[in-house]
Each structure stands twice: as C-alpha cells, then as structure tokens.
Amino acid sequence: MKCSLRHIILMLLLLLAGSLKAETLDVKSFIFGHTGDGYCFHVTEIKGKHVCVWLPVIAHSKETGWHVFSSKHVCELKEGETYQGFYIAPMTDPKYPGKLVEVNGQGEITRPFDLSFTRNAFGIFLVCGFMLAFFLPAAKKYKKDPMATPTKYQGMIEWLTYMVLDGVISPSIPKSKVPKFAPYLLTVFFFIFFCNLFGLIPFFPFGSNVTGNLSITLVLALCTYVAVNVFGNKHYWKEILWPDVPLFLKFPIPLMPIIELVSTLTKPFALMIRLFANILAGHIVIMVLMALIFIIGGMYGAGMGGATSIISIFMMVFMTALECLVAYIQAYVFTMLSSIFIGMSQQETE
C-alpha cells in the first residue's frame, strides 16, 4: 500500500514535469516575477488560462494626467500593445523590468508617477488588517475589564507582546522611555513578523514578498531613523555635533561630527539592507529549488526532472522551515537593533 502510494506520487510528479517540458523556463523572470512586486495577483492557472486578481493601477502621466484602471488591461496586453499609452515592461527590460511604463507623444518610454495598488500594497494592507483584527479585540477586552481573568486568546496576545517587550525592548531602552517607544517597536516587530510569514504562504491572498522589497524596508528603516533622531535627547545630539574628542578633530574642519552624522545614516541603512537581503535570499533559494526541477527537466528530459523534483521538494520543505525561523529572527533583529539605537539616543549623561 505504502509502496504503491509512493509510485503514484512519483508518477504524478513525472507527469507534471512532462507536461511542463514544452515550455522553456526563463529563470530570471520566473524568480523575480514571483519575488518582486506586480500589478496583478496571480492566483492559479486553469487549462492554460491565468486566473488573476486584478488590482487597480493608479498612475500620473506628465502629459495626460491621472489614470486609474484595472491592471487587467495592461497585464493581458500583447507584445507592442499599450493601454491608454501604458504597458508593463518585460522582466528583461534593462531600465524598468516589470514596471509600468508609458509611451509618450514623442514615442519615448518614460516611467509615470506610479501610485498603483500593487501586489505588495495588497500584502501590506492584508498584514495591516490582520494586525488590527488580531490585537484590537484584546485591547478592547483589556479596556473593558483589566482585572478579569484573561482568556486563552488574551494569554496568547500577552505572551507575544511581552516576549518582545521583556526580551527586546526593556533591556535596551531606559525604563521611563519604554511607554513612549514600545508601541512603535511592537508594531514594527509584528508587522515584519507577519509580513515575513505571510510571504512564505505560497497562495492567494498571501505570498507577496513584502519585506523582501527594498522600498518597504526603507520605510521601516526611515521610521527607526525618525524615532532615533527626532526624539533623540540633548546628550545624544551633543555626542554627534560636539563629541569629547581633541579639538582639532572637530574644529575648524568638523571631522568627527561628519563621521557621526554619517553613522546615524548607516545604522538604519544596515537595518534596511539586512531585512531586505535576508528575506529576498530565502525566497530566491526556494524559487531556485523550484526552478531547478524545470531546468533539469528541460535539459535531460522529464525523467530527470521528476527525479530532481523529489530532492527539490525535500529541500524546499527544509528551506521553508528555515524561512519560518528567519521570519522570526529578522523581525527580532530589526526590533532589537531599533530599540538599541533608540536606547542610545535616550541615554542620559552619567
């Protein structure tokens, strides 16, 4: 019984590999099409037809003003066609791969001001909605009766919250400042954590690789930069602008202040790159393992592809498990470093 089941699975895999043999896989567009942003949400493929959730495209052209339309129009365009002057550049485009571009009156290809509600935007709002739906009922219950015996749900929320509060935030930030910065740090932690986890779920409505996207980590790093520098106290700014170093290092050429100012920028920059690179790398590895089946299948025939799929799937399971770990670790690291930077900016002179 067990043996025959194994045979059936193997045969199915072989059939799958065989059925896809005809298509030659463009690995680069396959990987970056999935890990990158997109204008439509590809759900599945039934009998060769793509089933997609169309997202709104919002773009502002310098010549024709605002355009709002469903991404259906631009995603289903054939080569050389445009919709209202717009089309999506192929992944092979050197300048704007996979982005919405506009053909203006002179026939030049330009990038419009793009406010489209993309797949990542969808993913972001999904996580936002999830977070609100996850945490607000608990807050409401606490507000109603703080002394009531906590329910199991409240216990879970408490555990999650205090895991971050006691493990990450409290050790780094002066005690009196914790209530001021904890909401931001908690929000950032759970935002990154849920984004990472949702990114690992490979089907609609999840699967948008939000945190593996530089512009998203940039916003998060920017928030930390603001929290550190805008709320930084006098002592912190004195350490940057007039540090305790020999005078010639800060006057007449303010060498140390310049270095310190640059270092305030490098900290969030490192945060941004670290999160982005870790998450993107994990997704790429999983995608490559997936692509490997078709690459080998294409090179050596369906049989080899099927054989590879067994190894590949095992590796993918392993990588996905590892990515679950990474999802937590990266959220943890981002929050911990943010709270250390904030804590440093809140230090009082001893």
Partner 1 sequence: MIWMLIGFLIVLFILAKVGWPMIMGAVDKRNQHISDSLVAAQEANDALAGIEAAKAKALAEQQAEQVRIINESQELRKQLIEEARNEARAEAEKMVADARLKIQKEQEEAMSQMKAEVISLSVDIAEKLLQRELADKDAQSRYVEAILKENQPRIEA
Interface with partner 1, residue 117, by CB under 8 A: yes
Interface with partner 1, residue 158, by CB under 8 A: yes
Interface with partner 1, residue 131, by CB under 8 A: yes
Interface with partner 1, residue 183, by CB under 8 A: yes
Interface with partner 1, residue 271, by CB under 8 A: no
Q: Shortest gap between Cβ of 293 and partner 1 (angstroms)?
A: 33
Among the residue ranges 66-74, 118-126, 284-292, 320-328, the one whose residues contact partner 1 (CB under 8 A): 118-126
Interface with partner 1, residue 139, by CB under 8 A: yes
CB neighbour list of residue 312: distance below 8 Å, 6 or more residues apart = 289, 290, 292, 293
Q: Vertex 125, ends 119 and 131: CA angle to 5°?
A: 140
Helix (H, G, I), strand (E, B) or coil at 242: coil
Q: For residue 51, what are the β-bridge partners?
A: 44
Interface with partner 1, residue 172, by CB under 8 A: no
The tokens of 261 are what? 């100012």
The answer to whether residues 210 and 216 touch, using CB atoms and an 8 Å cutoff, is: yes
Q: Are strands 86-88 and 65-70 parallel, antiparallel or unpaired?
A: unpaired
Among the residue ranges 7-15, 79-87, 218-226, 340-348, the one whose residues contact partner 1 (CB under 8 A): 218-226
CB neighbour list of residue 344: distance below 8 Å, 6 or more residues apart = 228, 236
Interface with partner 1, residue 187, by CB under 8 A: yes
Q: Shortest gap between Cβ of 210 and partner 1 (angstroms)?
A: 8
Q: Shortest gap between Cβ of 26 and partner 1 (angstroms)?
A: 27
Interface with partner 1, residue 135, by CB under 8 A: yes
Sign of CA pseudo-dihedral 195, 199, 203, 208: positive
Interface with partner 1, residue 146, by CB under 8 A: yes
Q: Vertex 317, ends 311 and 319: CA angle to 5°?
A: 100
End-to-end CA distance of the chain: 73
Per CB under 8 A, residues contacting partner 1 are 115, 117-118, 120-121, 124-125, 127-128, 131-132, 135-136, 138-140, 142-143, 146-147, 157-158, 161-162, 165, 179, 182-184, 186-187, 191, 210, 215-216, 218-220, 223
